[in-house]
């Protein structure tokens, strides 16, 4: 049975851009920019839905669960972009946040014919990563009807996973299927059906929010510094030393010396703020709180008061 595109809001014609092919370059850009203004409002309306998912993701992370995006085409690429940035930014494993894309990694560059229409492929992908009820599966699909994503969500639900979605079309099959739908209704695209535009931008914004807010609540951010950044090159080493200096008030030279002892920005910051010099004790407090500095500092204060 064919797909009825007339029922999908993201496939409708945008009456504001019907003459876009006749416009000058600056006029085309203005039209696109005017439509882009609508995206943030659509995401704003979905904030309560996003917040519910973030709280579930944090709970899952503390129980060693994973956040797993699933998508095809543009939606899959957006999920991958968010997932692959989490390890270098927040110092987490590549398994903690990941994205399964219809057709696999090679489909990131070039579409794999028929992959997005296969529910069976989604099931085998989830089986390959050994999905469990600890995990949260988020289907990303502008239309909310992609078979690969639908199949993945159906299988995940059977395994006891919490399920969610990011859709930009109203009244979608996917939103009706999941436990925690996120619906940012962005309306008609500048070019009819080109969901890499407004829909894709909204999806990226929402993925940013899900992963970033979750990591903040996990203690991967102190104040507004990414204290678990992986210092793997000169720029990132300088960034780590700079945040140690800024947060603790010591000089850059002192920060460099302290980091030589404690190795990471987080351990260095905790050691200085807590007054604990012994590396083993620093590790013990951070291990007890799963790396959450503020919780570890509270624990130190409580221990001192009790003593």
**pLDDT tens-digit series, residues 185-241:** 999 999 988 999 999 999 999 999 999 999 999 999 999 999 998 888 899 899 999
- Is residue 157 within 8 A of residue 163, CB to CB? The reply is yes
Confidence of residue 65 (pLDDT cuts 50, 70, 90): very high
| pLDDT reported for residue 1 | 47
- For 267-306, b/e burial (b = at least 16 CB within 10 A) is bbbbbbbbebeeeeebeebbeebebbbeebbebbeeeeee
**pLDDT tens-digit series, residues 12-49:** 888 788 899 999 999 999 999 999 999 999 999 999 99
What CA–CA distance (Å, rounded) separates 184 from 161? 23
Catalytic-labelled residue, pool 116, 183, 188, 241: 116
Residue 116 designated active-site = yes
Q: Give me 59's structure tokens.
A: 């709970």
Ordered structural domains, the chain, with CATH: 5-217 (3.40.50.10490), 234-306 (1.10.8.1080)
Average pLDDT over residues 277-292: 94
Average pLDDT over residues 120-132: 96
HSE of 185, CA atoms in CB hemisphere, 13 A? 9
- Is residue 121 within 8 A of residue 102, CB to CB? The reply is yes
Catalytic-labelled residue, pool 7, 85, 154, 254: 85
Confidence of residue 5 (pLDDT cuts 50, 70, 90): low
What CA–CA distance (Å, rounded) separates 126 from 160? 13
**pLDDT tens-digit series, residues 100-114:** 999 988 888 887 877
Nearest to 219 by CA among 280, 266, 276: 266
CB atoms within 10 A of CB 53: 27
- Confidence check: pLDDT of 122 > 60: yes
């Amino acid at each position: 049975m064919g797909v009825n595109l007339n029922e999908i809001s993201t496939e409708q014609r945008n009456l504001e851009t019907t003459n876009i092919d006749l416009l000058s370059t600056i006029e085309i850009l203005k039209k696109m920019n005017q439509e882009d203004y609508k995206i943030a409002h659509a995401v704003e309306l979905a904030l309560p839905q996003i917040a519910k998912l973030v709280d579930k993701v944090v709970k899952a992370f503390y129980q060693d669960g994973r956040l797993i995006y699933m998508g095809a085409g543009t939606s899959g690429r957006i999920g991958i972009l968010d997932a692959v940035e989490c390890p270098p930014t927040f110092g987490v494993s590549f398994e903690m946040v990941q994205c399964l894309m219809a057709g696999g990694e090679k489909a990131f560059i070039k579409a794999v014919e028929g992959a997005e229409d296969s529910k069976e492929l989604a099931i085998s992908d989830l089986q390959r990563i050994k999905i469990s009820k600890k995990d949260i599966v988020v289907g990303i699909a502008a239309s909310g009807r992609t078979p690969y994503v639908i199949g993945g969500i159906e299988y995940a639900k059977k395994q006891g996973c919490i399920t969610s979605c990011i859709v930009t079309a109203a009244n979608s099959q996917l939103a009706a299927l999941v436990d925690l739908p996120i619906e940012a209704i962005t309306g008609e695209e500048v070019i009819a059906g080109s969901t890499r535009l407004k829909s894709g931008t909204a999806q990226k914004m929402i993925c940013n929010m899900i992963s970033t807010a979750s990591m903040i609540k996990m203690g991967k951010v102190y104040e507004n510094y990414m204290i678990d950044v992986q210092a793997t090159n000169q720029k990132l080493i300088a960034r780590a030393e700079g945040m140690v200096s800024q947060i603790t008030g010591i000089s850059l030279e002192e920060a460099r010396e302290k980091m030589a002892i404690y190795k990471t920005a987080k351990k260095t910051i905790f050691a200085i703020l807590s007054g604990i010099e012994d590396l083993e004790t620093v590790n013990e407090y951070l291990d007890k709180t799963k790396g959450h500095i503020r919780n570890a500092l509270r624990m130190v204060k409580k221990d001192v008061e009790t003593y």
